[in-house]
């Protein structure tokens, strides 16, 4: 019972904890090896980043089903564009830049489709009492943010990227990203204000 509770606690923290990679080589070393034709390096990069990236894309797009397609497209782009990866560049912001571009492109092409609140209930933290109303409100609020603000918030707040890394991924200055995140948080607060008033004791 105690074990189950501990396991559940750990599961609930998954979105926030970067698990230590089994392969101790840095992403950049793996990427260099991958560019030299080593497929196992790609496998290591995939197993290290696929789950967090899929989670990021689910949050960004608001759709789990779409997140699978986007993750697949993002890693396909990583393979196709590996010759564009420059020495000295950090891998994670590059990967998230690709993922964000995939999501934005897909969103642009599916403008008429609703990408909001398609996310199904999940296993994460299922053993805890969950505030599904707030979760749904949060998803809807996130989907209403402009893309640039949403990506800054999701990468920073949920995926733990630093502002410097987000700036690299977005091709913007660090201060611009901070402003975007700040404005995004302001807007989120505004969007959630009614719910906040309703639920707060």
Partner 1 sequence: MSCQLVFEDVNEVHIAGCLDCQAIANAVASSAPNLDALKSEALKELAQHPKATSWTRSALVLLGVLLAVVVAALLVLSIRFEQHRSVELRWLSTASWLLVGILGISSSVAPRRLVAPAPTSALFVVSSLLSLWASSGFNAGLTGVGCVVTDLGLAALPLAAAIVALRNVSFDAARAWTAGIGAGSAGLVALQLHCADGRASHLALFHLLPVLAVGALAVALRRQISTRVFAP
Interacting positions 36-95 with partner 1 (CB under 8 A): 37, 39, 42-43, 46-47, 50-51, 54-55, 58-59, 62, 64, 67-68, 71-84, 86, 94
Q: Does 13 bind partner 1 (CB under 8 A)?
A: yes
Question: Which part of the chain contacts partner 1 (CB under 8 A), choosing from 22-30, 34-42, 144-152?
Answer: 34-42
Instruction: Evaluate whether 66 touches 46 at the Cβ level (below 8 Å).
Output: no
In Å, how far are 40, 92, 102, 170 from 184, measured between CA atoms?
39, 22, 21, 15
> Which of 156, 143, 151, 155 is CA-nearest to residue 192?
143
Site for partner 1 in 137-196 (CB under 8 A): 138-139, 142, 157-158, 169, 171, 185, 188-189, 192, 195-196
In Å, how far are 14, 50, 51, 183 from 40, measured between CA atoms?
25, 15, 18, 41
Q: Which of 128, 173, 175, 194 is in the footprint of partner 1 by CB under 8 A? A: 128
> Which of 71, 108, 77 is CA-nearest to residue 94?
77
Instruction: Evaluate whether 139 touches 116 at the Cβ level (below 8 Å).
Output: yes
- Number of chain positions touching partner 1 (CB under 8 A): 75
Q: Does 35 bind partner 1 (CB under 8 A)?
A: yes
Q: Does 29 bind partner 1 (CB under 8 A)?
A: no
Site for partner 1 in 92-121 (CB under 8 A): 94, 97-98, 101-102, 105, 119-120
Question: Shortest Cβ distance from residue 134 to partner 1 (Å)?
Answer: 4
Q: Is 122 helix (H, G, I), strand (E, B) or coil?
A: coil
């Amino acid at each position: 019972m105690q074990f189950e509770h501990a396991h559940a606690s750990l599961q609930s923290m998954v979105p926030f904890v970067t698990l230590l990679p089994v392969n101790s080589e840095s992403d950049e070393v793996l990427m260099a090896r991958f560019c030299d034709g080593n497929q196992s390096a790609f496998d290591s990069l995939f197993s290290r980043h696929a789950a967090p990236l899929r989670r990021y894309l689910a949050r960004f797009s608001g759709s789990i089903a779409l997140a699978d397609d986007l993750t697949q497209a993002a890693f396909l782009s990583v393979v196709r564009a590996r010759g564009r990866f420059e020495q000295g560049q950090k891998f994670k912001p590059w990967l998230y830049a690709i993922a964000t571009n995939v999501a934005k492109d897909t969103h642009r092409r599916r403008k008429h489709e609703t990408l909001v609140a398609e996310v199904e209930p999940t296993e994460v933290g299922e053993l805890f009492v969950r505030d599904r109303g707030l979760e749904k409100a949060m998803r809807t609020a996130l989907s209403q943010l402009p893309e640039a603000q949403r990506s800054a918030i999701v990468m920073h707040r949920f995926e733990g990227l630093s502002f410097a890394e987000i700036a690299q991924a977005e091709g913007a200055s660090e201060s611009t990203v901070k402003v975007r995140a700040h404005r995004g948080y302001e807007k989120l607060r505004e969007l959630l204000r009614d719910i906040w008033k309703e639920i707060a004791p």
